[in-house]
Structure 1
Amino acid sequence: MILKETVELELLTKESIARGLIVLANIDSDLGRIVETLGNPPMWEREAGFPTLLRIILEQQVSLAAARAVFNRLCALVVPLTPENFLTLDDTQLKTIGFSRQKTLYCRGLAEAITSGQLDLTQLEKMDETTIRTELKQLKGIGDWTVDIYLLVALQHPDVFPKGDLGLAIATQKLKGLTTRPTPVQLEAIAENWRPWRAVAARLLWHYYLSNANGKSVTVYQ
């Protein structure tokens, strides 16, 4: 793995999120209205590392509640949840706790990349976003959405926006009064106005999405 030189990056904290919210409210009255009516969004943070990245893979194209149930069963079975311990599980064990064949393949690939030294998540978190994205996307089953969520909730990068996230698309459509749900390309274009605080805007939109869940059991990246 070839890594670029470490870059200085202001990672998100409660204080920097507060600054970002002020900027966003000034440039987009719709986002400002969310803050006025719902208050500041949660931090939504997870610890960086193998368990979190594996959990995000589980969350691909399924409900977060369903993925969390599988992840909790895994954590009860594998203590501690390390790449080495994960690789001791066979297909039958993983299927029993809810892993699909595809997710088994992806998560094994991640664990093997770490144990072989191909991927060093601790070193990677010190790198710039482009390097992180390039290195993670070399692994089968990890695409832009997975990297975006990892950058946003685990590494706390301030200007990441998961354009492929369904919750963000639904929230943006409702907030902006759009007749159709924006495509990822359209959502990315809308989010351009929110630079360099797009990760804060994403939190605001998730906050808004949850408030409009109409009593449904909906969660985001806790």
Structure 2
Amino acid sequence: MPQQFTQATYHSICDKLATMDTDFADVIKLYGYPPFWSRPNTYESLVHIILEQQVSLASALSALNKLCERVGKITPAHVLLLTDAEMRECYCSRQKTDYIRYLAEAIISGQINLEAFEQMEDEDIRRQLTALKGIGNWTVDVYVMFALHHTDVLPIGDLAIVNAIKRLKGLPKETTKEELALVAEQWKPYRTVASMLLWHYYLASPKPSTKGRA
């Protein structure tokens, strides 16, 4: 079973990362510890992450709240009762409606067992979830980080993480994801918490000026 972190161990892991990488020490000194981002291990949490694909967090939360208003509790059975028109009224695109339904059907059929994931390795979870249409590596990464609290996940498909590493390390914008993943090797076995620090830095720090750029 992979190593997990808890709210009780979160700050101590941040402190370990600060000793491993002085840039993280600077982030904590300037902006404090990152929030303990966490979500329950539920169908609703996975729906929320699907809704966050390729859109702003605010837009995704609006859609999730609309679904909550419509069905009361977001469960596979409740969501499968909604018509296409009702899903559209909840700000769900046709594609995401399909993805949310595929996941609901997989859970109801027993193909996916979220409770069983709590005892499984990352790659076994990834293999099962990415077999479903509409669930890729980014969705799995965020789920494993936020809902299962696995300690060593780097969501290299996340644009904010990519930009945060480049900015924190002063790397050129053309630095590849493969090169960034090599940078992140130094943060093992705490790359999830390193990612939390990077998101915190990305959200809290002043954005670089774009004046004079084409």
TM-score (norm 1): 0.89
- Give the corresponding residue for 2:20: 27
Question: For residue 120 of structure 1, what is the amino acid of its counterpart?
Answer: N
* Structure 1 residue 151: Cα displacement: 0.5
Structure 2: distance between partners of 1:64 and 1:28: 29
Instruction: Name which of 48, 60, 71 aligns with 2:53.
Output: 60
Q: Give the secondary-structure state (helix, strand or coil) at the position aligned to 2:45.
A: helix
Structure 2: distance between partners of 1:186 and 1:105: 35
Matched, 1:69 2:54: no
- Runs of 4+ in structure 1 deviating by more than 6 angstroms, as ranges, are none
Structure 1 unaligned spans of 5+: 1-6, 215-222
* Structure 1 residue 184: Cα displacement: 2.9
- Give the corresponding residue for 1:190: 183
RMSD: 1.4
* Structure 1 residue 213: Cα displacement: 5.7
Cα deviation, 1:29-68, whole Å, max 9, x if unaligned, reads 1111101111111110011110000110111111111111
Structure 2: distance between partners of 1:183 and 1:54: 30
1:103-142 aligned within 5 A: 103-142=96-135
Instruction: Name which of 11, 29, 32 aligns with 2:4.
Output: 11
Matched, 1:201 2:197: no
Question: For residue 107 of structure 1, what is the amino acid of its counterpart?
Answer: I
- Give the corresponding residue for 1:161: 154
Question: For residue 50 of structure 1, what is the amino acid of its counterpart?
Answer: Y
Question: For residue 114 of structure 1, what is the amino acid of its counterpart?
Answer: I
Q: Give the secondary-structure state (helix, strand or coil) at the position aligned to 2:199.
A: helix
Structure 2 unaligned spans of 5+: 208-214
TM-score (norm 2): 0.92
Cα deviation, 1:162-198, whole Å, max 9, x if unaligned, reads 0011111121121111220644323222211100000
Question: For residue 178 of structure 1, what is the amino acid of its counterpart?
Answer: L
Question: For residue 113 of structure 1, what is the amino acid of its counterpart?
Answer: A
- Number of residue pairs the alignment of both structures matches: 207
Question: For residue 167 of structure 1, what is the amino acid of its counterpart?
Answer: A
